Structure formats: structure tokens, C-alpha cells
């Protein structure tokens, strides 16, 4: 499997250099009150974002190299095409909902900034607000297109999962347990239901603002015969597996006090005697 994360590291660094050049161009060749300040401000923001993305993908690339190198490998599962499609569709729905919520937060901040620029910025404020509005449109378009691109990528991605002590690779995507602005919050094993097969659910938290935490989860289907191994992985990585459902007591009467008993935790609610 090719480590495509390095490609995003180099792309982000190139983008950061381009925005640095734009900052100098805006400062030397454009009048500040005629949009130069606005271009420099937006370019500076995008430069910082590009560097942050580069650091993020750098940690992912290093982790993916370690995983593909076989370091501390706990499981390697390969899936049939049908299972991959079902998993990709489940993740598409979750991704779309989380993107919508994130768009509301980012869009709200941008709208507030535009209103302040219009009220207090005078004529240059209108120009800056216009640029911020364009940024908002771009963010909205990306938030809509990104889940569909991810669905297409997942359907064409390698149909396997790698799990190690440092991170996971699933459907070609790499998820370090600790990286820049992201960290794993927990691991749980979910039993099979009518809606999904047994799952290993890795919960992550991403810092998307100074005080904004965005939780998300990566659910890895557990192949038949690997359930015990999956439970062991959940315990090893510090997670908790769900307790087995407590058996319901059959309807009847307590043999000591005669009280009616339907279901419970193994004790009569009237006299406290342990039920047989």
C-alpha cells in the first residue's frame, strides 16, 4: 500500500509558500486601503492553516510508515467488496452530518466578522467583508463536496484494516492515536446488531478552534471469527467492551414472600431474598 499522506504534506507546504508570496505582494504592490490589507490578512490566515495541515499530515505519514512496516501489529483484516460498500455508506452519513454542524460553527464566526467589518470598517470594511463572504462560500462548497469525495475514495480504497498500538489504517486512511490537534479518546467493542456487524469503534477528538472540540469515530467491522481478538484489542488499548445483557428473570412469584416477580437484578424487591 502506498503512503499517500506524504503527498499532502508536500502540497500543504507548497500552498503555504504561495500564501507567503501573496502576503509580500499585497504589502508591496497593493494599496492597503484598497484591499491590500484584506488580501494580506486572508493570505496570512491561509498560510497558518497550510502549515497546520502540513504538520497534521506529517504525523499521519510517519504513523502510516510505522504501521505498514509491521511495528506492533495487533490485527490485519481484509474485507469483501460488499462489506466495504456498507461501511463506506455508513461513514458517508456520519461525515455529512458532522460537516454540516462544523459549517454552522465556522459560518457563524465568518458572518459575525463580516457584520463587524461592514459596521466599523467603512469602505475597506465592505471589501474585507466581500472577501470573507467568498471564503464562506468556498467553505460551504467544500463541506458539501468533501463527504461525497470521501465516499468515492472509500469505495475505491484498499479493503483492509491495520490496527497497532500507535494508530489504525482503515480503507486507506490513517488515524494516529495522538497527533497534531487530534487524539484518541477511547476504544469500544460493539456487538452485532440488525444494522451493523460487530465493530471496533475508535473515538477521536479534534481541536478545530481555540476552545472547539470536534468528536468523531472510526468504526472498523470485525470479521467473523475475530470477535475475541477484537475484544482483546479493545482491552489492550484501554477501552471498555459492553457488559453482556443481564438475563431477564421469568415471570412468577418469590418463593419466600409470594410477591409477583417479572424481571429484575436477581433479588426480590419486596423481601430482598435472592431469586433462584
Residue 252: its pLDDT value, please? Answer: 52
Per-residue pLDDT of the chain (276 residues; tens, 9 = 90+): 667 778 878 998 999 999 898 888 877 776 666 667 777 888 888 888 888 888 888 888 888 888 877 777 899 998 887 766 777 777 777 777 777 777 888 888 888 888 888 888 777 778 778 888 888 888 888 888 888 887 787 777 778 889 988 889 887 778 888 887 788 888 999 998 887 889 999 998 887 666 678 788 888 889 989 999 999 999 888 755 444 443 443 445 555 555 555 544 455 555 555 444
Other Cβ atoms within 10 Å of 179 Cβ, number: 21
H helix or E strand, kind and range, residue 70 = none
> Which 3 state secondary structure label does DSSP give 43?
helix
DSSP strand pairing (173-176 vs 260-261): unpaired
Count how many residues are written for the chain.
Answer: 276
pTM equals: 0.57
Q: Tell me, what's the pLDDT at 228?
A: 92
Nearest-angstrom CA–CA distance, 238 and 240: 7
| Residue 202 confidence (pLDDT) | 92
Alpha carbons within 13 angstroms on the beta-carbon side of residue 98 total: 17
Amino acid at each position: 500500500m502506498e503512503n499517500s499522506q506524504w503527498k499532502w504534506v508536500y502540497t500543504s507546504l507548497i500552498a503555504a509558500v504561495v500564501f507567503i508570496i501573496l502576503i509580500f505582494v499585497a504589502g508591496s504592490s497593493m494599496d492597503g486601503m484598497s484591499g491590500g490589507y484584506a488580501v494580506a490578512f486572508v493570505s496570512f490566515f491561509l498560510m497558518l492553516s497550510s502549515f497546520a495541515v502540513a504538520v497534521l499530515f506529517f504525523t499521519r505519514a510517519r504513523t502510516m510508515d510505522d504501521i505498514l512496516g509491521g511495528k506492533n501489529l495487533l490485527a490485519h483484516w481484509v474485507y469483501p467488496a460488499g462489506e466495504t460498500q456498507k461501511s463506506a455508506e455508513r461513514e458517508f452519513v456520519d461525515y455529512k452530518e458532522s460537516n454540516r454542524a462544523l459549517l454552522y460553527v465556522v459560518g457563524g464566526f465568518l458572518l459575525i466578522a463580516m457584520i463587524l467589518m461592514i459596521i466599523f470598517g467603512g469602505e475597506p470594511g465592505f471589501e474585507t467583508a466581500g472577501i470573507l463572504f467568498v471564503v464562506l462560500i468556498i467553505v460551504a462548497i467544500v463541506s458539501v463536496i468533501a463527504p461525497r469525495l470521501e465516499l468515492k475514495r472509500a469505495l475505491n480504497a484498499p479493503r483492509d484494516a491495520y490496527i497497532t498500538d500507535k494508530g489504525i489504517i482503515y480503507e486507506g486512511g490513517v488515524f494516529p492515536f495522538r497527533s497534531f490537534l487530534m487524539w484518541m479518546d477511547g476504544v469500544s467493542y460493539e456487538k452485532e446488531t440488525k444494522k451493523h456487524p460487530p465493530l471496533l469503534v475508535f473515538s477521536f477528538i479534534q481541536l478545530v478552534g481555540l476552545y472547539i472540540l470536534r468528536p468523531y469515530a472510526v468504526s472498523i467491522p470485525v470479521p467473523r471469527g475475530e470477535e475475541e481478538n477484537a475484544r482483546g484489542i479493545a482491552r489492550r488499548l484501554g477501552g471498555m467492551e459492553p457488559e453482556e445483557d443481564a438475563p431477564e428473570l421469568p415471570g412468577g412469584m418469590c418463593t419466600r414472600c409470594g410477591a409477583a416477580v417479572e424481571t429484575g437484578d436477581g433479588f426480590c424487591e419486596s423481601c430482598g431474598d435472592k431469586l433462584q
